A and B are shown apart, each in its own frame.
Chain A
Amino acid sequence: MSNGNQASDMSEGSSGDEYAVSVPEGRGRDRDADGEASTIIESRDLSVWYNDEQALQSVSMEIPEKRVTAMVGPSGCGKSTYLRSINRMNDLIDAARVEGEMLFNGKNVYDDDVDPVALRRRIGMVFQQPNPFPKSIYDNVAYGLRLQDRTENLDEKVEEALRKAALWDEVKDQLDQSGLDLSGGQQQRLCIARAIAVDPEVVLMDEPASALDPVATSKIEDLIDEMAEEFTVIIVTHNMQQAARISDKTAVFLTGGELVEFDDTDKVFENPENDRVEDYITGKFG
C-alpha cells in the first residue's frame, strides 16, 4: 500500500499514518552529493497583496543555484504568486502590491533602479498552458534572441535550444511550420526551448505539466532533470509525486500564503517538521 498510492488520489483513501506520497526509490535527483549550492534567489519577509487580500505572508526562503526547487501546496496558497514575484510578473496585475525583498544574486529586484524587462531576460518562464506564439517553430525559439539583438549564429542557437528541450529530432524538418501545429507536449517543450534559448540563469515553471498527458509529463520531467545541470529551476506543481520525483528542495505553502516548510525534498516528504505539512502530504487535506 505504501508505494501504490498516487498523488492524484490525495483527496481520498489516505487512512492511517501511511504516506499517500512516497519518495520513489532510486530517483534521478541526487545532486546534494555535490555539496551545498550557493544561493541565487533569496526572499526576505516577502508579502504580496491583491487589493486587500494578502496572498503571501512574510515569506523568507533561500533558493539554491542549479538545483530544482519545487513549490507545492493547495490551490490559493500563494505558490504561483511567489513564483511570479521572482521575475516581477505580478507587476502586470494592477491590484498587486509587494512588500519585503526578493534578492536575485544579492540585488533586490524591487529596487527602483531594477528594470523588470532586463530582469525577465535573465529569469525565463514557462507557463501552465503551452503558449507558443502563432509563428513558426524557428521564430518562436528565436523570439527572445531577436528581442535582445543577439542574432549572430541564430541557426545554431535555435538548434541548440531545441536539442536541450529534447524537441530537435521531432521538428528539425519542419522548423518553418507554425508552433501551434505541434501536440500539447511538443508545444510545452517548444516553450521551454524558447525560454532557455536566451541562456537565462533561472527558469520558472508554473505547473508546466498539468495540462499534459502522462507520457508528455514524463518527458517534461526528464527534461527538468537535465535542465538543472545548467539552470536554476523553480517549479510550481500541485502534483506531490512530481515534486518528490524531480526536486532537490521542496517548499510547502499552506492556505493563507504561508510558507510552512522548506527543506531538502527527502526530508519534507519523509520526515516533515510541521504536522500540517505531514497532514497535507499524506492527503488529510488539500
Chain B
Amino acid sequence: MSGDSSTEALTRRTQNSSRELLAKGFFFGCAALSVATTLSIIGLLTFEAAKFFSITAPLVGIDGPTATLTEFFTGSEWGLQGPNLGVMPLVAVTLMVTIGSGLIAIPLGVATALYLSEYASERARSYLKPALEVLAGVPSIIYGIFAVAYITPALDALFGVDGLFNVASACIVVGIMILPMVASVSEDAMQAVPDDLRQAGYGMGATKYDVSTGVVVPAAASGIFSSFILALSRAIGETMAVTLAGGSLAREFDPTSLSSYLSLFDPESYLEPGMTMTAAMIQLLTGDVTGGGLAYRSLFAVGLVLFVITLGMNVLSDLIARRYQEDYQ
C-alpha cells in the first residue's frame, strides 16, 4: 500500500461535500420557516392590536376611533354597539371556564393516571390508554354539540337553567376535553418514576395506596404540575365548545370592585350564560364586522391578551418542570 493513496483517503473532506451542504441548508430552511411564521404572527397581532389603542395608534399611523387602555382593562361591559370595550368581562368568563374545567379535569385526571400507572394490569392498560387518546382526538365541535344537546338539559333537570347556554355546561365539557391531557401527561410522569422507589416503599411495608400517593405522586410532581398547566392553558384557548356551550352573551364585570371577583366563585353565576375571550372573537369574525373599524381592531387586542395569558402559562409550566425536576441518577 502506497503512503500517498492512504494519506489522500484520510484527507478527503466529506463534511463540505455539496450534498451535505445542501441537506444542511434545507433542514435549516425548514426550521427557520416555522420560527419565522410564529414570529410574524406575533408581530402582526401586536401591530394590529396597536391600531386599537389610543396610546399606540398614532405610532402606526391610524387616526380613526380608538380605545384607551383604561377603557379596555377597567371597563365593566363588552359590547360593540356603544363605547363598551372592557375586556375584563371576557377574561372573567374565561377564568370561570378555566377554574370549573380544572376542578373537573385535575382530580379525575390524576386519579385516572394513578389507576393506569399503578393499579391497572398490563391488559387493562393496553385498552384504556388508547381509549383516553381517542377522547383527546375528538373534534371540539362535537364536544360543543354534546354540551348543548346533553349536558345543558341534564343541568336543567338538576338545577334548572334558563335557555340553552350556561357557563357550567362549558366548564363540564372543557373539563372532559382536557382530562385526557392531564391523565396522559401525568401518567407519563408516573411511569418515569424509577421502579426502585416503589420497591423501596413496598420493602418498608407500604401498601399500594401508600406507595402510589406517598412515593409515586411526590416523585412525579413536576410532570403532574406541568400537565395541569398545559391542560388549563388548553382550556383558556378552547373556542368552539365554549362558544356553543356558554353562549355569546357578554356579562357585566367590574374589575375595580372586589365583589365581582367573588362572583367568580359563586356557583349560581355558573348557571348563567357567559362569553369568553375566544367566543367574543368568534362573534366579531362571524358578525358583520368589516375590516378597518374599531370592532375589527378589537379582535386583535383581545387576541393579544389571550396570547399573552397562554404564553405565560407555558413559560410557567417550563419553570415548574425545571424547578421541581428530581435527579435520580
Contact = CB atoms under 8 A, between A and B. Distances in A.
B200 A147 contact: no
A2 interface: no
Interface residues of B, number: 21
Given A133-B197, A135-B218, A147-B210, A127 B326 contact: no
Interface stretch (B41-49, B201-209, B239-247): B201-209
Contacts of A37: none
Interface string B164-179: 0000000000000000
A94 B204 CA distance: 20
B290 interface: no
A92 B202 contact: yes
B218 A120 contact: no
Contacts, number: 67
Query: Which secondary structure dominates where chain B touches chain A?
Result: helix
Contacts of A125: 203-204
A227 interface: no
B40 interface: no
Nearest to A200: B205
Contacts of B218: 133-135
Size range of the chain A interface in the assembly: 20 to 34
B326 A120 contact: no
Contacts of A131: 194, 196-197, 199-200
Contacts of A144: 204-205
Given A121-B204, A132-B200, 7 more contacts: A94-B121, A118-B205, A120-B203, A133-B219, A134-B197, A135-B218, A180-B326
For A119, A120, A124, A178, which residue has the most chain B Cβ atoms within 10 angstroms? A120
B127 interface: no
B67 interface: no
Given A133-B215, A135-B218, A127 B199 contact: yes
B327 interface: yes
B27 interface: no
Interface string B181-225: 000000000000010110111111111001000110011000000
For A127, A133, A148, A194, which residue has the most chain B Cβ atoms within 10 angstroms? A133
A282 interface: no
A127 B327 contact: no
A134 B218 CA distance: 8
Interface string A130-164: 01111100000001100110000000000000000
A114 interface: no
Interface string B93-126: 0000000000000000000000000000100000
Interface string A209-223: 000000000000000
Contacts of B28: none
A127 B196 contact: yes
A127 B205 contact: no
Interface in A26-45: none
10 interchain residue pairs of minimum CB distance: A121-B205, A125-B203, A131-B196, A120-B205, A134-B326, A144-B204, A131-B200, A134-B219, A117-B205, A117-B207
